[in-house]
């Protein structure tokens, strides 16, 4: 198994799991048979074995075209439209990927836009790309998501001015609804190549669709291996035996700790390459579980960096949290500490030791300290960090999230609370149709 889960540092008694086996079995049945609440957004469940092979081939062809024609690909989207691809690209490339020479990368630089409304960010990115060959992948189901739509308006003008209308249509790739929406209408009108966001797959579950696959493939990552990992997850995590199914174990571990009074789950990594994976994970669980006053608050820390900032709070603060630690078992680097004659820093006792081995001791030392401080720790072990394992890990968390939502008694596939800020923002921007709300909000401000 490329992924296994260790919950021996949680102090959860076997009976606390066993008491929930029937609920878990029902949640799994509702999920896999697509009969549970929110089942109109369960297309992701069997997507790894039912995805459109023709579109998959088109994605690889478009990725090759992007690699051949540009120095930089700008991925425009927000939330699930960019977090999955950014997570995978960051995990499977160098931390300094965009700064490496093209001869080493063998793929374009990848930049992200439309994930904020910062004028400074957008202005600086446009200036950076002024003298580079650029392609754009804009991702939006409707085409009217404010952040992404604003960014695309700028980049559409940028590409058209730089290359002219005819060549622009060869450099702009659209991922949107199959048949409707503002972005689909524009793509048809302008002649952009289009890829589909399936109707039954929500944004945060869409990494395996063109939403994630086109940017990931453009970055030179093996999407065949990624999908093979997803398929392995689909098959392995149907195993009905709790002791053999780490996805079941993780889902119940979260549920048991939540029902014991824990309010916060902290995802921990010890490799900077996983930091953006944590951002994807936060959206997945935050939007899925946070309803009806229920759900664990998903937070993330990056050790050992954050041991020098948040470590104190985790160790000695209120005991309303637990940690889930991502550990890569395979060695990531052979670099070792050098010997120095003067030894002014007192590091010679580490001379010759690999940094990976030191990082492992930091993990184990922190694990024991936090457990001694009454912070439960669950550990997700990855045999290695490659495209196959990443594909399987994504499915691991997606399925666990669906199961956890059903165990909580919420619909894990909608996000009604997200609309509240949008309505207020539109009203304050004086968008037509929001006049009454505009007056009400302006009084309050």
442: tokens are 């302006």
Neighbour-count burial for 131-141, b at 16+ CB within 10 Å, e otherwise: eeebbbbbbbb
**Closest by Cα among 232, 300, 313, 311 to 48:** 232
**Closest by Cα among 398, 381, 373 to 322:** 373
Cα–Cα distances in angstroms (integers) from residue 8 to residues 12, 249, 266, 377, 378, in the given order? 8, 11, 17, 8, 7
| Adjacency order of strands within the sheet including 72-76 | 109-113, 72-76, 134-139, 172-176, 193-196
Provide the H-helix boundaries in 35-172: 47-50, 53-69, 83-92, 102-105, 119-128, 146-171
Q: Give the Cβ contact number of residue 196 at 10 Å.
A: 18
**Closest by Cα among 265, 268, 329, 332 to 303:** 268
Which of the following is catalytic: 287, 392, 398, 399? 287
**Closest by Cα among 378, 22, 77 to 209:** 77
At 142, give phi and psi (nearest 5°).
Answer: -95, -30
The yes-or-no answer on residue 180 being catalytic is no
Which of the following is catalytic: 61, 361, 422, 423? 422
Residue 182 and residue 144 in contact, taking contact as beta carbons nearer than 8 Å: yes
| Bridging pattern class, strands 377-382 and 3-9 | antiparallel
| Bridging pattern class, strands 172-176 and 297-302 | unpaired
| Bridging pattern class, strands 109-113 and 72-76 | parallel
The yes-or-no answer on residue 65 being catalytic is no
69: tokens are 């024609």
Active site residues: 287, 422
């Amino acid at each position: 198994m490329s992924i296994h889960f260790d919950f021996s540092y949680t102090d959860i008694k076997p009976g606390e799991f066993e008491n929930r086996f029937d609920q878990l079995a029902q949640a799994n049945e509702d999920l896999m048979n697509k009969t549970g609440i929110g089942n109109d957004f369960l297309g992701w469940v069997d997507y790894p074995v039912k995805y459109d092979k023709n579109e998959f081939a088109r994605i690889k062809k478009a990725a090759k075209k992007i690699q051949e024609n540009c120095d930089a690909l700008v991925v425009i989207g927000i939330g699930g439209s960019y977090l999955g691809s950014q997570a995978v690209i960051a995990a499977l490339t160098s931390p300094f990927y965009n700064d490496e020479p093209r001869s080493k990368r063998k793929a374009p630089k990848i930049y992200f836009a439309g994930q904020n409304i910062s004028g400074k960010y957008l202005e600086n990115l446009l200036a950076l790309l002024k003298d580079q060959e650029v392609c754009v992948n804009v991702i939006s189901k409707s085409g009217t998501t404010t952040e992404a739509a604003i960014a695309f308006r700028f980049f559409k003008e940028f590409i058209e001015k730089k290359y002219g209308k005819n060549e622009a249509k060869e450099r702009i790739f659209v991922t949107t609804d199959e048949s409707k929406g503002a972005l689909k209408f524009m793509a048809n009108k302008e002649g952009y190549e289009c890829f589909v966001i399936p109707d039954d797959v929500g944004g945060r579950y869409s990494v395996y669709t063109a939403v994630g696959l086109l940017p990931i493939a453009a970055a030179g990552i093996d999407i065949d291996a990624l999908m093979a990992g997803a398929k392995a997850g689909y098959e392995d995590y149907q195993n009905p035996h709790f002791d053999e199914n780490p996805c079941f174990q993780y889902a119940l571990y979260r549920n048991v700790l939540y029902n014991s009074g824990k309010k916060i789950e902290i995802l921990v990594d010890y490799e900077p390459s996983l930091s953006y994976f944590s951002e994807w994970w936060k959206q997945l669980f935050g939007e899925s579980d946070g309803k009806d006053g229920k759900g664990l608050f998903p937070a993330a820390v990056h050790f050992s960096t954050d041991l020098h900032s948040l470590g104190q709070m985790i160790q000695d603060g209120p005991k309303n949290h637990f940690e889930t630690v991502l550990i890569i078992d395979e060695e990531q680097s052979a670099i070792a500490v050098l010997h120095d004659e003067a030894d002014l820093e007192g590091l010679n006792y580490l001379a010759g030791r690999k940094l990976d081995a030191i990082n492992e001791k930091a993990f184990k030392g922190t694990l024991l300290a936090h457990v001694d401080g009454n912070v439960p720790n669950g550990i997700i072990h990855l045999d290695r960090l490659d495209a196959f394992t990443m594909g399987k890990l994504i499915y691991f968390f997606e399925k666990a999230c669906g199961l956890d939502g059903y165990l909580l008694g919420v619909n894990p596939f909608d996000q009604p609370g997200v609309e509240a800020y949008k309505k207020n923002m539109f009203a304050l921007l004086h968008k037509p149709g929001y006049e009454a709300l505009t007056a009400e909000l302006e009084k309050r401000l």
